[in-house]
Every structure is written in C-alpha cells, then in structure tokens.
Amino acid sequence: MGELLTLEAGCRYDLVRKLYSGGMGVVYEAEQHGARDFVKRVAIKLIHHHLARQPRFLENFIGEAKLVADLIHTNIVQTYHLGETRGRYFIAMELIRGLNLEQLQQLLDRRQRRLPFELAVFIASRIARGLAYAHAKTDPEGRPLGIVHRDVSPKNVMVAYAGDVKLTDFGIAKARGFLTHQEGEVAVGKPEYMSPEQADFQITDLRSDLFSTGVVLAELLLGRNPFKAASPELTRAHVVQATLPDFRAEDPRIDARLDTILRRALARDLPERYATAGELLHDLEFCIYHGGYGPTNESLGRFVRELLEAKNSPGSPPAIPPSTD
C-alpha cells in the first residue's frame, strides 16, 4: 500500500490492506516488523483525522487501549500496542481470521441455513466466559475495575475459522479510571442489543452485558432480533416493555431448560436476571454438555469453514477485523 507507520521504539507496521472502514476509523491488516527479520500479522485500528482533534473521543480511544491491554483471555481480542503517527493514534491488535456474528448470520440467510442450536448456545457460552473474566478484572492493587462492555452485539463477537469465539471493541465500555461515560445523559450502544436500563438512560452494571448476551443468543436461535423495530426510538421502547417471544413455539429446538436460560438472561427486573456472567456460563454449558459430549471450537470452526466452502469462494477466507463503529 505504500503507507508506513513507524514507532519511536523502532517497531514498524507495514499496512497490507484495508479490512474495514467505519464512522470512527479504519482497520488494516498489517505486518509488524521487529529485530532480525521478525514479522507478525496484526490488525491496526486507525482513527479518522477529524476525530483525533476531539478531546473526548481521543480520551476514550486511549482509555480503551489502556483498558484492554491487560485483558488477556482466549475469548477476548488481545491488544498489543497503542501508537501515534503524524498526529493520528492507532491500536495494534490481534488479527482474527474469521467473521463476526452479523456476517455469519448473513451467510446463513443466503444459504437458507440455520445455526445448529448447540453451536448457538456454545457461542453464547464463550461470550459469557469472556465477560466473566472482564467483569472480574482488578487493578494492580486488587481493586475491581467495574468493567461493563455496554456493546455486546453480533458485530462485536468474532468467530475464527478455527472456531475460537472472541469478544471485541470495548470502545464504549465503562471502567473505573480508564474511560469516560455519560450514563443518564445519553444511551450508548446499538438499540436492539441494549439492556432495558441502557435504553431507559439508567446506570448500568455487569448485568447489562448479560441481557445483551441473551439478545444475541435469541437472535442466533431465531434468526431475528426480538426487539428490532422501524426506528431506534421504537426499538428502545420494545427493549424496555415489549412482551418476550414464545421461544419454544418459534423454535422447537428450544427446550424448557434453554427457554428458562433465555428468560432469565432477558429479565427486565434486575433481581430476576443472572447476577454474574459465571452463573450464565454455568447454565449454558450444562445445557449443551449435561448429556456428555458437546460442541467444541473444532466443531464450530468446521461448521463455519464448510459454510464458506459451500459458496465456492476462490482462495483462502479473508481476515475479518474488529468493528470500528
């Protein structure tokens, strides 16, 4: 591409190709170069010029990088470096060769296929696993950071071709000492995946992420978002007060156990909702493993690869980056 990012420490990033462009920035596949011909493929998230001049946005972007730098978990996209070149900040992060859940659903729709219910539950369990780790994260003194992702949605959950499930984009997360937020003043996140407290401009805690995970699971099973409406305002109203679907009637694969999990994750009254991601993870895993053998990274990866091969696409599948929206 001809564009070169050079860091003060002598580490060099050669941009290979543009992967995604959104309202907040551009994501590139890049080569990280080090000593003695060391080369590593990474993703570079580079913010737009005009946003780099907005103090609040820049503060949150830097806060996101600092927050996720220490989130090292198999179900979270890892951040390697925060850099700056010619007045523009960028984050170097793990390059995931795969697709996000929105792209997976679009592919299923085109193939007129449904995601096997056990794989849908498996994906949701991996999201819960990553959230359990993030929610429990503490600072070096052992004080809870109080991380709430606030944007758990299909665009921000990636499935690698090997079957790993990765939560990404903590750009609107809140956490003590890292990110600024305006809860009670603005509703952040994608309306159809917000928790009722988000949609109603209230203060959120970790249970908000669990509601969003329940929405993602419902969509993976039903092939549709149960709250999405014609406008963001109406969608938020549905999140707050619309009657939940009859899950078992819509999808006979949903048994009583899974129906109970969905309804508890999507409970609007906070005391009735799952209290921790660990509790949700336990119930999801029991749902798919109580009988013995169940889905794995390998079986999920095999399903995704076969789905892609059915398209007869030439060449190897592309790398899909985290969202910049």
Write down the residue that tokens 């419902």 correspond to. Answer: 218
Half-sphere CA count of 310, side-chain side, radius 13 A: 12
- Crossing angle of the two packed helices 206-222 and 256-265, in degrees rounded to 10: 140
Per annotation, catalytic residue among 151, 169, 209, 283 = 151
Contact 28, 20 (CB under 8 A): no
d(CA 239, CA 312) in angstroms, rounded, equals 39
Q: Are strands 157-160 and 165-167 parallel, antiparallel or unpaired?
A: antiparallel
Query: Shortest CA distance to 169 belongs to which of 212, 224, 112?
Result: 212
User: Known catalytic residue: 151?
Assistant: yes
Query: Shortest CA distance to 134 belongs to which of 105, 97, 181, 174?
Result: 174
d(CA 196, CA 105) in angstroms, rounded, equals 24
- Alpha helices, DSSP H only, in the chain? 49-52, 55-68, 101-111, 117-135, 196-199, 206-222, 232-241, 247-250, 256-265, 277-289, 297-309
DSSP state of 261: H
Q: H/E/C letters for each residue in 91-123?
A: EEECCCCEEEHHHHHHHHHHHCCCCCHHHHHHH
State whether residue 8 is helix, strand or coil. coil
Contact 33, 11 (CB under 8 A): yes
Six token digits for residue 79: 């951040």
| Residues designated catalytic | 151
